[in-house]
């Protein structure tokens, strides 16, 4: 059959973005031949995405000239030849600058090709009794939507080895629309969970104009009720951003709050992670400084969890599950300030009313404004930063809550000396309260190495109070 033996495994790009052509080592002798048709580890090292195939199909064709296509399916494919030879033509039908790009080649058992979702494929057998095999990363169902383009579209200019008028082609394939009539396939979407909290609102703002973003509030997805996740058509999403959490730190120490905190932050997140794993979805999950006890003055991403209270324990449990996913970003943050009620708004209100508050002076950290937190999350996704955990807060000098309160008073025109510092122990004396980490400062080197540098928190504070 003219197949080359003893080639090295190699991959090269094509004229269609994301599509990779592989040379496969085929080992042959007088008995026949053997090859590793798909080898996850070796091929990933050569650039193959970890596309997690779930179905293996074989197409047998008894005649030369059998021609199928041109079809774009809503999944990724890995195509190889078992016996015979095929001529292949692909057309990019994805929305974007590569729409209409083409690539053609012949495949024998010594080659294979990875085809991203949205790239239409067509195959013409060049020998009788040809079989080709394809792995796909989603299960076929009767509701599966395909996109097509006509085999004979003159704008494509495909030079079929066996002319279509002499080939075996179905009437259905001959009737597909021309490229000019094809609606481009939009990219898979981003699902934002917790879209109406203070971070969710900021994320909506930074993704404004991005048609991929869909927002789920608690009427659609409630992590405290994992069964709500079963109603989502997950195959249409590429990314989930989880901005939902149970954050009532003090209430979490009560029997009712403990159950709710674990239901949302641990059990619900575990259910979400399972879905992300099953569908190959990137999961972006927001974490907290409360997973640490605060004895270390500056926390890096590799510090072991040492949570003091129920909230931190439940967040640490959720982080552990998300961290097991192949595709994930855990974004760990602290002292978040956004729209709605928060510490800064409370202090500004007290200042306007002439109240002189006592504020904790032995907990230290930096504020994180939701605009920067949201922008950092968008950056990690947009640049495809290496998967893993990233600390994300605003930059600037470390301060106590009392120092921040004094800054707020000063910015709004009140006397900063109206704020009195008090220890955590004295502040919470006689109150039902969760233990707090003493130090909440997050080390930001890893985030900055990924190309994102948040603003100084004091400059953001002034802009927040004096827009």
Supply the residues annotated as catalytic.
71, 134
Name the token pair of 301. Answer: 């991403």
- Report the C-alpha gap between 139 and 280 in whole angstroms: 13
Nearest to 236 by CA among 118, 149, 112: 118
- Report the C-alpha gap between 96 and 93 in whole angstroms: 9
Q: Which residues have C-beta within 8 Å of that of residue 97, sequence separation ≥ 6?
A: none
- Report the C-alpha gap between 405 and 173 in whole angstroms: 69
Residues 436, 308 contacting (CB under 8 angstroms): yes
Nearest to 421 by CA among 367, 365, 359: 359
Q: What residues does 108 pair with on adjacent strands?
A: none
Residues 72, 144 contacting (CB under 8 angstroms): no
- Token pair 């956004």 is found at 338
Strand, coil or helix: 77? strand
- Report the C-alpha gap between 203 and 11 in whole angstroms: 38
Instruction: Spell 161-178 as b/e; 16+ CB within 10 A means b.
Output: bbebeebbbeeebeebee
Q: Which residues have C-beta within 8 Å of that of residue 357, sequence separation ≥ 6?
A: 347, 350, 405, 418, 419, 420
DSSP 224-258: TSGGGGGGS-GGGEEEEEE------TTGGGSHHHH
β 328-333/282-288 pair status:
parallel
Q: What residues does 198 pair with on adjacent strands?
A: none
């Amino acid at each position: 059959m003219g197949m080359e033996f003893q080639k090295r495994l190699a991959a090269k790009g094509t004229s269609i973005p994301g599509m990779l052509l592989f040379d496969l080592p085929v080992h042959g002798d007088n008995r026949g031949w053997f090859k590793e048709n798909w080898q996850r580890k070796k091929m990933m090292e050569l650039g193959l995405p970890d596309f997690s195939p779930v179905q293996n199909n074989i197409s047998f064709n008894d005649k030369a000239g059998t021609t199928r296509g041109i079809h774009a399916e809503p999944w990724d494919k890995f195509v190889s030849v078992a016996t015979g030879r095929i001529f292949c033509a692909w057309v990019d039908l994805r929305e974007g600058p590569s729409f209409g790009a083409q690539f053609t080649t012949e495949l024998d058992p010594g080659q294979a090709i990875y085809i991203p979702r949205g790239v239409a494929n067509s195959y013409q057998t060049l020998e009788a009794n040809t079989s080709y095999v394809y792995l796909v990363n989603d299960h076929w169902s009767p509701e599966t939507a395909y996109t097509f383009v006509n085999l004979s579209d003159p704008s494509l200019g495909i030079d079929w080895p066996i002319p279509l008028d002499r080939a075996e082609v179905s009437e259905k394939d001959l009737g597909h629309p021309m490229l000019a009539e094809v609606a481009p396939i939009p990219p898979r979407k981003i699902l934002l969970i917790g879209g109406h909290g203070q971070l969710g609102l900021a994320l909506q703002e930074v993704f404004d104009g991005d048609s991929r973003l869909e927002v789920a509030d608690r009427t659609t997805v409630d992590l405290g009720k994992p069964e709500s996740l079963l109603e989502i058509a997950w195959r249409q999403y590429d990314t989930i951003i989880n901005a939902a959490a149970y954050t009532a730190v003090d209430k979490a120490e009560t029997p009712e709050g403990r159950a709710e905190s674990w239901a949302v932050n641990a059990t619900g997140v575990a259910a979400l992670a399972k879905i992300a794993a099953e569908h190959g979805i990137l999961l972006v999950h927001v974490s907290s400084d409360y997973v640490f006890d605060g004895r270390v003055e500056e926390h890096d991403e590799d510090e072991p969890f040492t949570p003091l209270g129920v909230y931190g324990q439940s967040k640490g449990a959720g982080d552990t599950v998300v961290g097991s996913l192949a595709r994930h970003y855990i974004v760990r943050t602290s002292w978040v300030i956004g729209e709605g009620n928060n510490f800064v708004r409370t202090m500004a209100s007290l200042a306007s009313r002439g109240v002189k508050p006592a504020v904790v002076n032995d907990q230290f950290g930096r504020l994180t404004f939701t605009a920067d937190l949201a922008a950092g999350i968008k950056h990690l996704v947009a640049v495809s930063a290496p998967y893993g955990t990233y600390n994300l807060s605003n930059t600037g000098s470390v301060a106590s809550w009392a120092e921040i309160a004094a800054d707020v008073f000063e910015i709004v025109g009140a006397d900063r000396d109206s704020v009195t510092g008090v220890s955590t122990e004295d502040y919470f004396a006689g109150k039902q309260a969760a233990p707090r980490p003493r130090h909440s400062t997050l080390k930001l080197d890893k985030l900055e190495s990924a190309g994102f540098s948040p603003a100084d928190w004091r400059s953001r504070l002034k802009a927040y109070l004096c827009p």
